[in-house]
Chain A
Amino acid sequence: MAGGDDGTGVPYLVKVEVTPRAGIRDPEGAAVERALAALGHPDARGVHIGKLITLHLRAPDAAAAERRADELCRTLLANPVIEDYRIEVRAAEGSGP
């Protein structure tokens, strides 16, 4: 495992956006899109509902942090059958939690 719980490395803040995979039916997004149209915004299209997951971890550098985040997404945070994910890594303020 690419663990980093020994306290070494640089703290990073990881943000993961999980969204329904392109082409997969998104009934929540469709329902919100209809509601927006009913509110007078028929041009608000392509509505999708996803999740934002944030976490802190330590890694030698940003690329390593991103690799670990990708591993977390593949094993737990997203289900590749129905979801896409996007990872954003940036240096954490201070030393994290």
Chain B
Amino acid sequence: MSVRVAVVQFPGTNCELDVATVCDRLGAAPEIVFHRERSLAGADAVILPGGFAHGDYLRAGAIARFSPVMEAVRAAARAGMPVLGICNGFQVLCESGMLPGALMRNAGLRFVCATVPVRVETAADVLTAAAVPGSVLQLPVNHFEGCYTCDDATLTRLRAEGRVVLRYLENPNGSLDDIAGVCNESGNVVGLMPHPERACDALLGSSDGLVLLSGFLTAAGCRPTVATG
């Protein structure tokens, strides 16, 4: 049976169809779940796609944290289900406290829209499980609030525990320690600013995102089913 992926849609989310299309092409069964839902309806994995959830009012991701669906996402994450936040989804995970740190306005005060080289730093999480640590992926970034920040103690911990998942080789936004993505303690919740779903077809310039998303779906499929909200 194919892996069921809940693709969460907040008001203002705009990458849900891209994510669902790639999941579908990779043989998974994506389902777009509106933010008012309180259940993930038997999903094996959750993806929070990019966009501008709730208009990014107050701070990017700040209000999405209180959407009804987030309680189910939190419960799923606690139960070990793979949860991936891409771009605005990463901001939502940080604001929700499911990932450490915060994403601030880019250091250069420029909206960045480019394909940038990103190095895989670990394979001990659900996103990079199929990638080779040290390998470099060409991934698109497309954001204004992508400057990753955390306090010194958190950074020390992230490094010591190998939780920096991806690093920029050419830091486009001023992120602390070139961080492009991080994971939680158990490696099942991952957030990244680049858009792997936009790099899944050579026709679109890069297919380097495939190793990430296919690895994520494999990790979700290998996991014994757990009943969650």
Seen from chain A, the residues whose Cβ lies within 8 Å of a Cβ on chain B are 24-25, 27-28, 31, 76-77, 79, 81-82
A82 cross-chain contacts in B, Cβ below 8 A: 102, 104, 149
Q: Are B105 and A79 in contact (CB under 8 A)?
A: no
> In the bound complex, how far is the Cα of B147 from the Cα of A28, in angstroms?
13
Name the residue on A nearest B95 (C-beta).
A79
Name the residue on B nearest A20 (C-beta).
B104
Q: Does B207 touch A at the CB level, under 8 Å?
A: no
Interchain Cβ contacts under 8 Å between A and B, 13 examples: A24-B104, A24-B149, A25-B147, A27-B105, A27-B109, A27-B174, A28-B105, A77-B58, A81-B94, A81-B102, A81-B149, A81-B151, A82-B104
Q: In which size bucket is the chain B interface?
A: 20 to 34
In the complex with contacts A24-B149, A25-B174, A79-B59 CB distance below 8 A: yes
Seen from chain B, the residues whose Cβ lies within 8 Å of a Cβ on chain A are 58-59, 62-63, 66, 94-95, 101-102, 104-109, 147, 149-151, 174
> In the bound complex, how far is the Cα of B94 from the Cα of A82, in angstroms?
12
Secondary structure of the B side of the interface? loop
B59 cross-chain contacts in A, Cβ below 8 A: 79
**Nearest Cβ in chain A — how far from B101, in angstroms?**
6
Q: Are B58 and A81 in contact (CB under 8 A)?
A: no
In the complex with contacts A79-B62, A81-B149, A81-B150, A25-B102 CB distance below 8 A: no
**Nearest Cβ in chain B — how far from A36, in angstroms?**
16
**Nearest Cβ in chain B — how far from A81, in angstroms?**
4
> In the bound complex, how far is the Cα of B147 from the Cα of A79, in angstroms?
15
> In the bound complex, how far is the Cα of B155 from the Cα of A30, in angstroms?
24
Q: Are B109 and A25 in contact (CB under 8 A)?
A: no
**Nearest Cβ in chain B — how far from A40, in angstroms?**
22
> In the bound complex, how far is the Cα of B103 from the Cα of A79, in angstroms?
10
